[in-house]
Each structure stands twice: as C-alpha cells, then as structure tokens.
Amino acid sequence: MPLRPTAAALLMTAALAVPTAAPAPAVASPSRTSATSMATAVSADATAGSFQQVTGFGTNPGNLAMYTYTPAGLPSGAPLVVALHGCVQSASDYYRSSGWTKFADQYGFAVVFPQTSSANNSLSCFSWFDAGKDARGVGEAKSVVEMVTKAESLYGSDAHRVFVTGLSAGGGMTADLLADYPDVFAGGAIDSGLPAHCAATQAAASGCQNSDQGLTPAQWGDKVRAAYPGYAGPWPKVAIWQGSADTVVRPVNATELRDQWTNVLGIGRQPSSTRSLPGGTTQELYTDASGQPAVSLFTISGMGHGLAVHPGSGADQCGASGAYFLDTVCSSYYTAQFWGLDGGSGPTNPGLPAPTGLTATAADGSVALAWQAVSGAASYLVFRDGSQVGNPSGTGFTDTGLTAGTTYSYTVAAVDASGAVGARSAAVPATTPGGSTSQCFTASNYAHVLAGRATQSGGLTYAAGSGQNMGLWNTFVTHTLKQTGPGYYVLADGQC
C-alpha cells in the first residue's frame, strides 16, 4: 500500500532516504521479488562462489535477513566482511554492484550482506538514527552481530579479522556498529554516511545529514566511548568515503567522522600523508603512534550521493554503475587495501627504520630539530605531541609559533619514494623558555596550517585543538588565533 504523503515526506528527510527524482534501483527490491527467487536468481550469476540466504542465524530483534557470498574453496580462518546496503536497495543490489565479491574471490574472504525491508522502514533504510535499534545488544545492531557469529560458525571465519562497511543509511549503521562492537569489528568503512550515534531519534536525523553539529572532536569521541562503557581493548581502523557534491549527506559529515575516530584512536587531525587516486579522489591518511594506518579519509571531487565504483577488469576496478553506484573510483579496492585484506597491513606498512639521533633545541617560541638521515628516505614527517607539523626533505626542521614556558614532545618518521611511512623515532621533549600562558598569531589560513596552528580538510580550515571553522584554506582569508594551551588554539579576531 502506498505511503501517505506526510509519512513519506518525513522519512525522505529524516531517514537518509534518497531524493524522489532519483532513478529506481537497478535490481528489484525484496518487496517486489520473493527472497527465495531472488537468492536463486543471484546464485545463478555467481562465477566462482555462491550467494544465498542464510536462515536461523540466532536471535533477530532487528527483523533483518541474512545473505552471504562465499568464494569457491574458501579455507577456514579467512577474514569476513559485512556489507550494508543503502536506502531503497537490497542485499542483491549490493552483491551485484558494490564490487566486494571480486575481492572476496581474489583475496579470499566471505561476505555477509544484511538486508532490511519496508517492514522496518518504508524505504528499506537501516535505522542508524533509532537508539532502540542501533545500540549494543538491541535491534538491528544485535541482528548484524548474530549474523557475524553464524558466519564464523559456517565458514570458520577469523574472529579477529571481521570488517563492516555500508552506504548511506548503511554507512550510518556501520559507524554505530563500530562504536557498539569494537570487540567484534577490526575495521570499518563508512561510505556517504554519518558519525556514530549522531542522532538518537528520527526527528534529529535530518540535522545530522545536512548541517554541522558544532561538536568538538572530544564530544564526538565521547559518543563512541559511551556506546560500550568501560571498553579497554583496541579500536577498529576506519575508512571514510565522501563525495564533495553530496547533497543528501553533506560533506561536513566526513569531517565529523574524521574528528570522531581520530579522537577515539588518540591521534592528531593533521594527516600523516596525502595522495591522489583515480576519479578525482584525494586520500588523507592518519597513522597511529607506531606509524600504522588508523583512519583514512577519501574525498571524491564532484561526486554526489552514492557508493564509488569503477566498472572494468583492471586490478583497481570493480562494481557496476547504476542508481547510487557512481562510476568514479573503486572504493572497495582501496578499502580492502586499507584493511590489509590484500595480504599487507595497509598503505603505510612500515619499511623504513625509525630515524635516530633526534635532538630538540628550544628558543623563544620555537624548537629546532635535527636527526640522522635514513637510507632510502625521500622526506620526513615531524610530529609534535602526536600531530604532524612538518614534512621536510632534509634532516632538520624548526617548529615555530610555540607557547612560552611549555613542554612539547617530538617524533620523526621517514617516508620512502612511494609515500610509505616508516616507524617513528623515540620521543624527545623540548621546553620553550618564558612563562607566558597565551600568545596570539595573525596570519592567513594557509600560513596557520603550515605553522601547525590549524588543519585543513575539504578546502576548509579548522583551528588546531578547538576545531573552530576558519573558512576557506587560502592566502586571502586572515584570522587571529590565540593559543591557550599546548597545541590548542581559538579564534580571537579583534581580541589580541
């Protein structure tokens, strides 16, 4: 029965529904095709493995269906990937178009495709915005974890290498699952999605989709930590995919996700490295204290709302284009690499040793650093209190604009010609002379970023520490920043 217009409008704005002008999904949804016939039809398409529905997977408080893809001859102990479809999509759509089955065959892992339906949400959206369905131990979140347990039993999957990814509403649920079950998932990929537990009610969902929520990185991180109070184990590594022209889930969500997960993982918001990928894609990589990849932000210039795919037979190509499967770059390929499913540990698998002989000489408002050269290094990354502040090509760097009477901790890592970041050096402290508690700096947004007083993401500038939005990252916009603590700056235009 058709939705009443008022109900449809509410869900369209609040539940990550897609615009009414968008084309219909490329594959019929479960509301138009029975689950049995769908599984049979799709299984006939599989060239190397099988796609099928799995029933009886345990308690199912979220009223979801479970589908799996398993490559032929999959050995016990292989990884497991959970892939959540977007609104107005089905498990079959995601199986056919996302590209995950190509890499399941190539790298050797099973894929679980959870499916919601119009019985749960009129547009078949996962309920990322409902505290009764997206929290640990309840609703759809619990159903997905029951599927993981079932898949581990059926296929002998490695419980330490379980990953989850999702598009749109599935991306929002992915973020929630990473927060709710860090003991289950080793990594996640949020495609055109939302920060974990951004909304607790449907009424609040639209605000999350469309506007900056004004939270600090610590407040975003607290939403994750509150999802599983007392958890003291390792946190998952997180990939974030966002189109710069997305008007359904605005690009600010990617910035908030970056802030949320770097805070949870205890790393800085200055990327360890940046590289260009096909399809107008820029990857910003954030590494942990050992130089391993922890958070990766992929921004696709000009892409709207959808999952990034790139059909073709090339090694870095995958998927099928269609409604909300957009031909730009194969996100599944780069996500699999980031997770280490290709046999590596990610794009910064350390090869170069840590620099030795690091010295730090403090002066008024600055610290001069020097270290021994590393054979094979093309450049170096300099970190102050865990955040990158420099990328010199030589074996020296002077960090400026520092607060008087403050102790800072420095480390250095070598970078090879491919962009791989090696291990970090032992930390060396340096204390600037004097006792002033605050200092003001007036400069362009570009200069603030170069000096480490601000960061940039998506063409915008943010004050280091406070995260305040400073506008466009260029040499024309000028602001005054006041340092109120080590690595912490606030906007102070006209106040100094």
Q: Are 350 and 421 in contact (CB under 8 A)?
A: yes
Q: Are 400 and 328 in contact (CB under 8 A)?
A: no
Contact 222, 231 (CB under 8 A): no
Around 276, how many Cα atoms within 13 Å sit in the side-chain half-sphere?
4
CA 317 – CA 457 distance, rounded (Å): 26
Per the CB < 8 A criterion, the answer to whether 471 and 460 are in contact is yes
* Distance of alpha carbon 293 from alpha carbon 289, whole angstroms: 10
Rounded CA-CA distance 246/86 in Å is 15
Q: For residues 191-219, b (16+ Cβ closer than 10 Å) or e, as one string?
A: bbbbbbbbbeebeebbebbeeebebebee
Point out the catalytic residue in the list 168, 272, 387, 425. 168
Q: What are phi and psi of 305, to 5 degrees?
A: -90, 120
Phi first, then psi: give them for residue 399, nearest 5 degrees.
Answer: -90, 120
Q: Are 264 and 232 in contact (CB under 8 A)?
A: no
* End-to-end CA, the chain: 64
Give 323's strand partners: none
Please give the Cα distance from 323 to 305 (Å, whole number): 10
Decide: 37 and 29 in contact? Cβ < 8 Å.
no
For residue 381, how many other CB atoms are within 10 A of its CB?
24
Tokens representing 285 are 């990589």
- What the block records as the tokens of 469 is 């939005």
Rounded distance, CA 128 to CA 158, Å? 27
Residue with tokens 């968008």: 22
Using alpha carbons, select from 462, 11, 262 the residue that is nearest to residue 3.
11
Tokens of residue 133, six digits: 């369905």
Helices (H), 243-341: 252-265, 331-339
**Residues constituting the chain:** 496
| Active site (annotated) includes residue 436 | no
Bridge partners of residue 69, in order along the sequence: 51, 111
Are 91 and 113 in contact by the 8 Å Cβ rule? The answer is yes
- The separation between CA 231 and the C-alpha centre of its own chain, rounded to angstroms, equals 20
Question: How do beta strands 162-167 and 187-191 pair?
Answer: parallel
Positive or negative CA dihedral for 126, 128, 133, 139?
positive
Catalytic residue numbers read 168
